[in-house]
Amino acid sequence: MLWTPKIRLVTVLCSVVFVLGTALQNYVIIDLDLIEASMRLKGADTAEAPTYLSALRLVGNVFIAGNALGLLVWFRRRWLFWPVLAFNVGQAFGVFVVPFEVHRAAIGEHGWPGVLPSLVTDGGAVILSIVLIVAYVRSRRLTRTGDPVRL
């Protein structure tokens, strides 16, 4: 995929927002009290809350690193397309994977700002994934010489 200036800029800006939003979610919004509250809302035993928090923070750290990889797009490395797309598609699944009780507990503890980082990062990842897929498809259209068409 050819990184056009517009796609590079959009990807880098989104990556900055996603790194900051995921870090905010991972270390400020999500804490043991919020996890316990979400488990109570779900009717689950809270004894496993510390383990669940550790696993959730590990996943958050992986997405922070993956989103930081998107910052390297600025340097036009073609090989970055697939890892960046994969991390964004993975983060987009957060819309479906994160239990609603976690959002309810975040709203209860922090108000609407408690869900804003998750909505921005997961929802933004959906949009960026679509943009990257469309850009890839458009760049694969061939000219008469067989070269990819720049966007």
Q: In this predicted model, what pLDDT tens digit does every residue of 76-128 receive, in sequence order?
A: 888 899 999 999 999 999 888 888 888 899 999 889 898 899 889 999 999 99
Taking the CA atoms of the chain, what radius of gyration do you get in angstroms? 18
Q: In this predicted model, what pLDDT tens digit does every residue of 20-40 receive, in sequence order?
A: 999 999 999 999 998 999 999
Q: What's the residue count for the chain?
A: 151
Q: With both helix axes pointing from N to C terminus, report the angle between 81-92 and 5-24 in degrees, rounded to the nearest 10.
A: 40
CA 63 to chain centre: 6
pLDDT of residue 148: 58
Nearest Cα neighbor of 68 from 122, 28, 125, 12 is 12
Quote the CA–CA distance of 61 and 90 in Å, as a whole number.
13
Mean pLDDT for the stretch of residues 59-88: 93
Quote the CA–CA distance of 50 and 141 in Å, as a whole number.
50
